[in-house]
Amino acid sequence: MAGLPTVAPRPAIPPERHGARLEAVREELRATGAAGLLVGPGAELRYLAGYHAMALERLTLLVVPRDGEATLVVPRLEREPALGCPAAAAGLVRVRSWEETEDPFGLVARALPEARRPGGAGARLLVGDRLWATFVLRLLDTFPGARLGLASSALRALRMRKDAEELALLRAAAHAADRVVAGIAAGRLIGRSELDVAQEIGQRLVAEGHERAEAAIVGSGPNSASPHHGASERIIEAADAVVLDFGGSLGGYVSDMTRTLWVTGPAEVAPDPAFVAIYDTVRAAHAAALAAVRPGVPCEAVDEAARVVIEAAGHGPHFVHRTGHGIGLEVHEDPYIVAGNTEPLERGMTFSVEPGIYLEGRYGARLEDIVACAADGPDVLNEAPRGLWVVRG
Ligand code: ZN
Ligand code: ZN
């Protein structure tokens, strides 16, 4: 089959990993005296059971008791996909489905008998951080007197440290995004709207193996100075700076990268020297942040490393956001690379490094890569060139 492009096999999370995660949760529940952990659709459910469910008004809830078997409560019409999820298929969780007119909270109560036992009133329960209030209130009815905490208190330390397969997925997602930015930079930009380019980014992410693309930021000209601009009807012109910030998910794990382009147009309009100076400062700040990454270094020190470079160039007030955010199953998760976060970096933590400078009304620049903290320093997952991308457009 020589000559055909080969698609690398996608890394996968082995089912036993879900068993180890569920056991780690039980250990945490025992250590903190909580009776159980209850999480709905979203990253927590995907992390523990590998189950991708839609968040709907019909209850889907994974119940992990301190001791005993975990139960996945699902609507009858989602029984088949639930039974097929990695944790259920491996016999790590049992699936209990509720009929359309049944009260699902009866199943939830049976899945956590300890919290209903006489004398069990006031049991401590850890509920999913994004579980809808409508379900949380029903849980309080189901377990009278329950004291609620957040599931993240048990999950955040686990989720922050990525295992080998999670790192492989994040790397595959980053490399796919690298190819997307190269494709966009090589194509036509002048005369197209930001929205049109954003749409192409989404299509390319899917073509590169992402199952889902998030709405991309395409900030051209003065819009590049707005960090969370989105994409508009503005038509890209020669002598525009263009900030491309985009990502999606591949195998459930997220990509997120930013590159800044300068569009010369056919007249070859070179980037204005002031813009080049700004970009060079951003790049130096990015390099300084990377150089600070190693186990034991507080997250805020990585932010500080980037910030001092930008402040020294007189642009402190124009760097209006934190240096980065953790990334994994979610695009923003712990640990945050921000002043005040004294959490020490550990091997396997993954996060963005994305300093930027924004001159309102003129232009802005940002450079974003996803980085893993390795034993001896940073392991940068993105490989696309980090200079200013001067393109004809
Ligand atoms: Zn981004
Ligand atoms: Zn980001």
Residue 116 C-alpha to ligand 1 middle, in angstroms? Answer: 45
Residue 375 C-alpha to ligand 1 middle, in angstroms? Answer: 25
- pLDDT for position 114: 85
In sign, the C-alpha dihedral spanning 220, 222, 223, 224 is positive
Give the pLDDT of the chain (393 residues) as one tens digit per residue: 444 544 566 788 999 999 999 999 999 999 999 999 999 999 999 999 999 999 999 999 999 999 999 999 999 999 999 999 999 999 999 999 999 999 999 999 999 988 877 665 689 999 999 999 999 999 999 999 999 999 999 999 999 999 999 999 999 999 999 999 999 999 999 999 999 999 999 999 999 999 999 999 999 999 999 999 999 999 999 999 999 999 999 999 999 999 999 999 999 999 999 999 999 999 999 999 999 999 999 999 999 999 999 999 999 999 999 999 999 999 999 999 999 999 999 999 999 999 999 999 999 999 999 999 999 999 999 999 999 999 999
**How far, in Å, CA of 159 to CA of 207, rounded?**
28
Of all ligands present, the nearest one to the C-alpha of 322 is: 2
**How far, in Å, CA of 349 to CA of 336, rounded?**
11
Residue 110 C-alpha to ligand 1 middle, in angstroms? Answer: 43
Instruction: Decide if 344 contacts 296 (C-beta within 8 A).
Output: yes
Question: In the 8-state DSSP scheme, what is residue 115?
Answer: G
Residue 276 C-alpha to ligand 1 middle, in angstroms? Answer: 21
Residue 257 C-alpha to ligand 2 middle, in angstroms? Answer: 7
- pLDDT for position 5: 47
Residue 354 C-alpha to ligand 1 middle, in angstroms? Answer: 8
Query: Taking the CA atoms of the chain, what radius of gyration do you get in angstroms?
Result: 23
Helical axes 273-292 vs 299-312, angle rounded to 10°: 150
Residue 256 C-alpha to ligand 2 middle, in angstroms? Answer: 5
Of all ligands present, the nearest one to the C-alpha of 228 is: 1
Residue 35 C-alpha to ligand 2 middle, in angstroms? Answer: 36
Protein residues within 5 Å, CB atom, of ion ligand 2 = 256, 352
Q: Token pair 């996968």 is at which residue?
A: 12
Residue 335 C-alpha to ligand 1 middle, in angstroms? Answer: 15
Closest CA to 182 of 209, 200, 194: 200
Of all ligands present, the nearest one to the C-alpha of 259 is: 1
Residue 98 C-alpha to ligand 2 middle, in angstroms? Answer: 39
Token duo for residue 29: 């529940």
Alpha carbon distances (Å) from 197 to 178, 185, 245, 275, 317: 16, 10, 12, 22, 30
**How far, in Å, CA of 310 to CA of 320, rounded?**
11
In sign, the C-alpha dihedral spanning 138, 142, 144, 149 is negative
10 Å CB burial of residue 260 (0-12, 13-18, 19+) is: buried
Residue 388 C-alpha to ligand 1 middle, in angstroms? Answer: 16
- pLDDT for position 8: 61
**How far, in Å, CA of 158 to CA of 336, rounded?**
15
Report the run of H or E that residue 357 belongs to, with start and end. strand 356-359
Residue 114 C-alpha to ligand 2 middle, in angstroms? Answer: 42
Of all ligands present, the nearest one to the C-alpha of 333 is: 2
Q: Token pair 């919290």 is at which residue?
A: 115
Residue 235 C-alpha to ligand 2 middle, in angstroms? Answer: 25
- pLDDT for position 92: 97
- pLDDT for position 10: 77
Read out DSSP for 226-239? -TT----SPBP-TT
Residue 218 C-alpha to ligand 2 middle, in angstroms? Answer: 14
Q: Token pair 């890569």 is at which residue?
A: 369
Of all ligands present, the nearest one to the C-alpha of 247 is: 1
Instruction: Please state whether beta strands 240-246 and 253-254 pair in parallel, antiparallel, or not at all (unpaired).
Output: unpaired
Report the run of H or E that residue 303 belongs to, with start and end. helix 299-312
The arrangement of strands across the sheet holding 217-220 comes to 217-220, 240-246, 257-263, 389-391
Name the percent of the chain in helix, strand, coil, to the closest 5.
35, 25, 40
- pLDDT for position 58: 97
Amino acid at 146: A
Residue 225 C-alpha to ligand 1 middle, in angstroms? Answer: 14
**How far, in Å, CA of 310 to CA of 283, rounded?**
10
Q: What is the pTM of this model?
A: 0.94
Residue 43 C-alpha to ligand 1 middle, in angstroms? Answer: 19
- pLDDT for position 2: 44
